[in-house]
Structure formats: structure tokens, C-alpha cells
């Protein structure tokens, strides 16, 4: 981190306690995020396996399709709830208080999963989704607030350290929580996730004095009139929902589908409505409207990418359990360990890609944003082409080598590194001035839309353990990549000078 220790006035003041040359609060936020991600990815590694495992073996005995639908809806809601989570931080609690509340909600949810009762399990899952959305929207804001000068040369390095905590937690979680849950006891594994979040909260509370004072400030607080109107509307909608589900329950026809279907439809309609609401805003200039039209191309491409990518913890997890050998070079391991491959590859390859783009830029050969998106879609589509072959080899009682999944995860990670950082940067560049803060939440809605599509397919009964499942999605993603590349000049013209 040589760039963090410059002679710039924005650097650390004399006598200031630092963390790797950065504000001390970064250490606390790093540990909070690392342990929160540890709890999140540890639980997620177990989720589909627990839902689909026979009751006699300690699971809930659900059909694979139902388990995948629940997983996909859960993922969709985490990213959907990041929007109201950010709003609560900006207008009600401030980032510091919002993050603290989120951590407590997440911890409570994980400990409810540890209770061997289906009712507490689904309540816990809902709490984790709510808390994760709230935390995701606010903790990154506090990292930025540590650097009072927006041009502080340490700023980018601070976010790099922070995001390393995300991948470190995601890497260790399946190796530990996954092993305990799959090999010893499911609920003990879920309890470990709760302990992880508790440790994250401990580091967070101990570091309050190191956080920026702005983190306690509510940037745009609600007026008394706005607050009363919001509470009134919320109570009305809550009453409608309670009344509707009471009627369904009393009629004796309530099933899990009554929850999954509305959430899936919401996950599809809300992103579409939000995008077109912004695009049709009359306050936007002609150039801003054109950029939003171009952005829709990227949004749809990202949704297609995440629809495939996020099946690593659901469809691919079931393939690992049912059709993949759990030994390599004589060493036996739980199938949840496959979930550690992506963060491992990210930590190994992210610096390589960062240097690669810089080297290509200096030679005036760096691929355009559109080309990177196209490559990401082709790679993720190709990964499902590999899965199609693996599924064919796993006919009958045959099980394939773990290296098939290793290659799939590698391809998807390379695709992620071509799309995710670029998409985040592009979102800030194409965002209309009026929606500059909200557009980052819009980017997360692409994950909501992608996961909702998979949930919809499962609710409609599409089988995941067939070559057709992998082939159809792989072809669609690859063709989408080719289409973006072929029409790149048209899309570039819509971007209003943004590259």
C-alpha cells in the first residue's frame, strides 16, 4: 500500500493511529464486514442442502425445485432490500445506527435457524434477508466517510482492503460452517453463523470511537409530516397483507407458494418499474435519458449473468452433492467446500486483472466496457456448456470428477471480474445527476431480477438436473454476449460520451 503513505495533506496526520496507513476505523469495519460475510456465506452454503435433505437425516425434506426457488427468492430479496436499507440510513437512522440494527437482526436470524423448527427457520431466513439488505447499503458508506477529503489518495486502497475482508470471510465460511453443518449437525452450523455475526458486532461496537462523526448523522431526515404519512401507508399495506394471508390461512389453502410467488413477481416487476421510472423522468436531460437507455442494455446483461452465476449455491450445490465425487487425491471433503472456490479465485485473480487492464490501457489495447460485458456473458454461458457435458457424464449412478466444478467456478470468476467491477464503475458514470445516489441500488436490482428468473423457472417446474437446463441458459447467455458485442457501436452512441 505504498500509495497510502504519501506526502499529500490528505494522508494521516502526525501522531494519528492508523491501520496499514489508513484511518483506524477501517480495521473495525473490515472485521465487521468479514464476519458478517462469514455468517452470510456460511449459512448460504448450507441452505439448499438443508432444505433438500431428508427429514430422517435432519433436513426439511423439500423437493430440489422448491429448495432452489427458496434460495433464489432469498438472494433476490437481499439485494432488493438494499434499496430501502439505503433509504433508512439516509433518512431515518444514519449509517452507523442502521448498520448496528442490521447486525443485530442478522445475528437473531441466524440463531433462529439454529432452532430445529420449520417456523423459526423461515422467520430467521426473512430476518437475515432484511438485515443483510440494510447492512449492505450502509457499511460501505461508512468506509467512504473515513476519508474526509474525497481526493484522499488512500481512499481506493481503503476500499480494496475492505473488499478483501468480504472475500476472506466468504472463503473461510464454507470450509468451517459448511463442514460442521454437513458433517456434524445442520443447526450447529447455523449457530456458528450466528456466532460469526456476533463477533462482527463486537468489533463494530468496540470501534465506534474510530468511525467518522458523519456516520452518526442522518443526511436528509424525514420531516414530521413525511414520517406520519409513511407510517400510515406502511400500516395500510401491512393490514392488507395480514388480511389477505389470514383469509388464505383460514381457507386451509396456504402453502409456501403463497409466499414464493408474490416475492418472485415483485423481484421481476420492481426492477423494471424502477428503471423505466428513472428513464421517463421529465427532469432528465436528453443526454441523461439516452444514457439510461444505454444502461438498460447493461442491466439486462448483468441480470442474465447473475441468474447463472448465483446458481453456484443452489443448482451447482445440488450437483456437487448428488453427481460429483467428494474425494480428490484420496482426500475426502464435504461438498460445501466447493463454495470456497469463487472467493479463492477472486482473491488470486483480482490483482492480476487490475494489472492487466492497466497494462493494456498503456498500450491502447484495453477492451471497452461493452467488450468486457460481452466476454463475461460468453464465459458464464460457456461455464454452463461445461456443466451440460458434466451432467451428461453423470448419468445413472456415475459421479464426475470434482475438477468439472472447479473449471466451472474458475470460468465464472473470470467472468465476474470482467463484469462486476466494470458494472459498478459504469453505473456511477451513466447515473443521472438526480439519481446519483440511488443508481448503485439499481445496479443491485440486476441481481434481484436474475435470481427471480431462476425462482420463476423453478416454480413453473423446470428440472435443474438435466442437460437441457444448462444448455438453454448457457446458449442464451452466450448469444446475449455476442449481441452486445455486435451492437456495441449502437449502445456506445447511447452512452453520451461515457466510455
Find the length of the chain.
Answer: 499
Query: Residues 275, 442: contact at Cβ < 8 Å?
Result: yes
30-39, 164-173, 316-325, 415-424: which has the minimum mean pLDDT? 415-424
Backbone dihedral angles phi then psi of residue 454, each to the nearest 5 degrees = -65, -40
User: Rounded to two decimals, what is the model's pTM?
Assistant: 0.91
Provide the strand spans (E) within 25-96.
Answer: none
3-class secondary structure per residue, 170-183: HHHHHHHHHHHHHH
63-72, 220-229, 315-324: which has the minimum mean pLDDT? 220-229
Cα–Cα–Cα angle for 446, 451, 454, rounded to 5 degrees: 135
* Rama region for 364: left / alpha / beta (φ>0; ψ in -120 to 50; rest): left
Mean per-residue pLDDT, 121-142? 92
172-176, 252-256, 413-417, 434-438: which has the minimum mean pLDDT? 434-438
Q: Which H or E run includes 204? A: helix 186-206
* pLDDT of residue 6 exceeding 60: no
According to DSSP, the residues that pair with 327 across neighbouring strands are 332
pLDDT at 153 (0 to 100): 73
pLDDT at 2 (0 to 100): 35
Give the whole-number percent of the chain exceeding pLDDT 70.
Answer: 95
| pLDDT tens digits, 111-125 | 999 999 888 999 999
Task: Reduce the DSSP state of residue 230 to 3 states and report it.
Answer: helix
Give the whole-number percent of the chain exceeding pLDDT 90.
Answer: 60
Distance separating alpha carbons of residues 31 and 36, to the nearest angstrom: 8
pLDDT at 8 (0 to 100): 42
Placement of cell 432488493 in the chain: 80
Mean per-residue pLDDT, 470-496? 89
pLDDT at 49 (0 to 100): 96
C-alpha cell at 398: 456415475
Distance separating alpha carbons of residues 337 and 76, to the nearest angstrom: 23
| pLDDT tens digits, 143-192 | 888 887 766 777 767 777 888 889 999 999 999 999 999 999 999 999 99
Give the rounded distance of the alpha carbon of 393 from its chain centre: 31
Cα–Cα–Cα angle for 299, 155, 365, rounded to 5 degrees: 55
Distance separating alpha carbons of residues 468 and 307, to the nearest angstrom: 16
Placement of cell 448428488 in the chain: 322
* pLDDT of residue 16 exceeding 70: no
Per-chain mean pLDDT for the chain: 89
Query: Residues 215, 96: contact at Cβ < 8 Å?
Result: yes
The closest alpha carbon to 170, from 416, 343, 351, 405, belongs to 343
Query: Residues 140, 217: contact at Cβ < 8 Å?
Result: no
| Direct distance between the N- and C-terminal alpha carbons of the chain, in angstroms, rounded to an integer | 28
Model confidence band, residue 458 (pLDDT cutoffs 50, 70, 90): very high
Amino acid at each position: 500500500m505504498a500509495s497510502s503513505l504519501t506526502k499529500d495533506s490528505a494522508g494521516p496526520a502526525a501522531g494519528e493511529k492508523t491501520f496499514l496507513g489508513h484511518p483506524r476505523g477501517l480495521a473495525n469495519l473490515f472485521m465487521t464486514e468479514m464476519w458478517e460475510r462469514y455468517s452470510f456465506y456460511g449459512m448460504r452454503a448450507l441452505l439448499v442442502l438443508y432444505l433438500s435433505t431428508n427429514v430422517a437425516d435432519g433436513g426439511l425434506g423439500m423437493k430440489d425445485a422448491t429448495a432452489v426457488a427458496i434460495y433464489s427468492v432469498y438472494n433476490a430479496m437481499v439485494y432488493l432490500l438494499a434499496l430501502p436499507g439505503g433509504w433508512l440510513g439516509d433518512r431515518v437512522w444514519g449509517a452507523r445506527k442502521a448498520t448496528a440494527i442490521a447486525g443485530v437482526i442478522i445475528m437473531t436470524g441466524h440463531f433462529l435457524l439454529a432452532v430445529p423448527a420449520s417456523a423459526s427457520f423461515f422467520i430467521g431466513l426473512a430476518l437475515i434477508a432484511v438485515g443483510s439488505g440494510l447492512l449492505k447499503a450502509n457499511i460501505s458508506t461508512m468506509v467512504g466517510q473515513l476519508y474526509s477529503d474525497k481526493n484522499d489518495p488512500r481512499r481506493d486502497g481503503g476500499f480494496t482492503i475492505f473488499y478483501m475482508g468480504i472475500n476472506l470471510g466468504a472463503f473461510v465460511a464454507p470450509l468451517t460452517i459448511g463442514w460442521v453443518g454437513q458433517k456434524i449437525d445442520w443447526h450447529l452450523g447455523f449457530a456458528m453463523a450466528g456466532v460469526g455475526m456476533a463477533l462482527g458486532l463486537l468489533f463494530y461496537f468496540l470501534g465506534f470511537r474510530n468511525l467518522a462523526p458523519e456516520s452518526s448523522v442522518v443526511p436528509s431526515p424525514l420531516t414530521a409530516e413525511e414520517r406520519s404519512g409513511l407510517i400510515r401507508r406502511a400500516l395500510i399495506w401491512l393490514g392488507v397483507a395480514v388480511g389477505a394471508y389470514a383469509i388464505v390461512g383460514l381457507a386451509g389453502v396456504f402453502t409456501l407458494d403463497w409466499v414464493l410467488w408474490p416475492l418472485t413477481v415483485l423481484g421481476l416487476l420492481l426492477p423494471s418499474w424502477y428503471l423505466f421510472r428513472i428513464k421517463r423522468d421529465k427532469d432528465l436531460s436528453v443526454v441523461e435519458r439516452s444514457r439510461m437507455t444505454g444502461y438498460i442494455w447493461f442491466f439486462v446483461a448483468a441480470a442474465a449473468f447473475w441468474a447463472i452465476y448465483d446458481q453456484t449455491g443452489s443448482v451447482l450445490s445440488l450437483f456437487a452433492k448428488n453427481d460429483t465425487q467428494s474425494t480428490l487425491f484420496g482426500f475426502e471433503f464435504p461438498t460445501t467446500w466447493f463454495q470456497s472456490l469463487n472467493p479463492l479465485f477472486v482473491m488470486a485473480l483480482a490483482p492480476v486483472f487490475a494489472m492487466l487492464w492497466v497494462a493494456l490501457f498503456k498500450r491502447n489495447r484495453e477492451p471497452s466496457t461493452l467488450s468486457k460485458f460481452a466476454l463475461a456473458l460468453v464465459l458464464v454461458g460457456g461455464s454452463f456448456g461445461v456443466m451440460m457435458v458434466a451432467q451428461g457424464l453423470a448419468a445413472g449412478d456415475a459421479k464426475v470428477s470434482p475438477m468439472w466444478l472447479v473449471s466451472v467456478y474458475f470460468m465464472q470468476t473470470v467472468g465476474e471480474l470482467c463484469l462486476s467491477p466494470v458494472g459498478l464503475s459504469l453505473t456511477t458514470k451513466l447515473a443521472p445527476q438526480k439519481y446519483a445516489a440511488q443508481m448503485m441500488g439499481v445496479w443491485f436490482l440486476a441481481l434481484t431480477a436474475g435470481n427471480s428468473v431462476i425462482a420463476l423457472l423453478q416454480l413453473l417446474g423446470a428440472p435443474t438436473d438435466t442437460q437441457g437446463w444448462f444448455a438453454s441458459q448457457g446458449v442464451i447467455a452466450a448469444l446475449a454476449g455476442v449481441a452486445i458485442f455486435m451492437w456495441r457501436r449502437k449502445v456506445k452512441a447511447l452512452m453520451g460520451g461515457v466510455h
